[in-house]
Amino acid sequence: MRIAAALSKDPDSARATEDVVERVLISLEGEKPDLAFVFVSAGHLPHSETLLGILREQLGARVLLGCGAGGLIGEGQEVEFESAISLWAAALPDVGIQPFHVLPRMVMNQLDFAGWPHPEPAASEVRAMLLFADPFTTPIDQLFDFVEGRFSGLPIIGGLASAGMSQGENRLFCGDRISNRGAVGVILSGPIDVRTVVSQGCRPFGRQFIVTKSERNVIQELGGKPALARLQEVLQEAEASERSRAKRGLQIGKLMNEYSSSTGQGDFLIRSVVQVDTRTQSLAINDLVRRGQTVKFQIRDAEAAHEDLVEALACENEAMGEGGACGALLFSCNGRGSHLFSEDHHDVSAVHSELGDIPVTGFFAAGEIGPVGKKNYLHGFTASLALLRPGIA
């Protein structure tokens, strides 16, 4: 397995594409790429056909996927406010690579996805899916369910295209095809190990509570008392600095494994507190919540986000052991980067610091895709990574 990546900030689309192709091919040392991803800033999207033509003729990857994005990641940089093209390519001997472009449709009053690959790879051989979707035309949770019905427990990593602010403005690439609808992706199978890191940028504080009364996304009671009263208790028990941070970035975490004897990084699915109702003493979050679920309040700020990402990367690096990852794909929220951190290139720098000088490419997404526990979710303010290395067939 050999992986290479390059990023160009040349404003000329053809020159930028030729530049990244040339440097990627040099890094591959004569290996023909089996899989390539290209991420393109909004300024280059009008020249998409030119870009894909150069990639087809000069790179010659067997499978090419990508999308437009509001900010790009590559070669140790996070480019948020300039035109750029970022390319990632890999020679993956004997790995099954099945690309697709799916579009939602109604069949017999049920949602289906046209374009799903047939035949499917054997479920026992499937390792992961990489997915890029247009947020305006893709019912992402239903797509997760669709995949789960075919490959139970399959990790999905990726992000929502972020180059456009309204329907029709985004672009998705699948081979020679350019689309502004649906989702593109690839199913990887065979001798490849795809590890995932999902850093939701939060730090828990206070006690855990059981939801004792709720309705859809509204938490009415925690531990037999009004939810707002419990929040006030936790804030009163916290230090002054923690109370200040909580007021600016209060979140709530849903414990994913109720049978776990201890909790730590990655054990909670983070959701935002979207409304505090002083009349009913309830809290509304941006997800469904059920009675009997364990929750814990969380703080999201730059310090918590840094600590969470570093811890998650260090844990995964230790778990991988000798050899580590050959390359990575990084999808960070477009609310991270310079919007959250004082230092430049924060997330990709953390990846290199913890995992070494591996090829890393990605983009700032309008929503990040990654598993928590054994289920895939759409996240916000998250850094989601796919780490690739050789595996056993």
Query: C-alpha dihedral over 285, 384, 188, 124, to 10 degrees?
Result: -50
Task: Give yes or no: residues 118 and 227 share one domain.
Answer: no
Q: Residue 261's domain is classified under what CATH number?
A: 2.40.30
The reported pLDDT for the residue numbered 86 is 98
Task: Give yes or no: residues 272 and 221 share one domain.
Answer: yes
By the 8 A CB rule, do 72 and 38 touch? no
Task: Give yes or no: residues 277 and 340 share one domain.
Answer: no
Task: Give yes or no: residues 275 and 336 share one domain.
Answer: no
**How far is residue 348's CA from residue 108's CA, in Å, rounded to a whole number?**
45
The reported pLDDT for the residue numbered 53 is 97
How many CB atoms sit inside 10 A of residue 32's CB?
Answer: 12
Per-position DSSP letters for 155-176, written without gaps between them: -EEEEE--S-SSTT---EEETT
Mean pLDDT by 10 residues, the chain (393 residues): 98 97 96 97 96 96 98 97 97 97 90 92 95 97 96 97 95 96 98 97 91 96 96 90 82 84 76 93 95 94 95 95 94 96 96 97 98 94 97 81
Distances (CA, A) of 134 to 40, 85, 354: 14, 19, 31
The reported pLDDT for the residue numbered 262 is 57
Task: Give yes or no: residues 178 and 269 share one domain.
Answer: no
Query: C-alpha dihedral over 162, 167, 172, 177, to 10 degrees?
Result: -160
Task: Give yes or no: residues 189 and 293 share one domain.
Answer: no
User: Of 262, 284, 299, at which residue does a domain stop?
Assistant: 299
User: Of 250, 274, 299, at which residue does a domain stop?
Assistant: 299
**End-to-end alpha-carbon separation of the chain, Å?**
14
Task: Give yes or no: residues 232 and 377 share one domain.
Answer: no
User: Looking up tokens 């067997």, which residue turns up?
Assistant: 62
Domain count, the chain: 2
Task: Give yes or no: residues 266 and 312 share one domain.
Answer: no
Task: Give yes or no: residues 187 and 233 share one domain.
Answer: no
Task: Give yes or no: residues 33 and 179 share one domain.
Answer: yes
Task: Give yes or no: residues 151 and 192 share one domain.
Answer: yes
Task: Give yes or no: residues 234 and 168 share one domain.
Answer: no
User: Looking up tokens 């992000």, which residue turns up?
Assistant: 159
Domain that holds residue 46: 2-199+306-390
User: Of 299, 325, 353, at which residue does a domain stop?
Assistant: 299
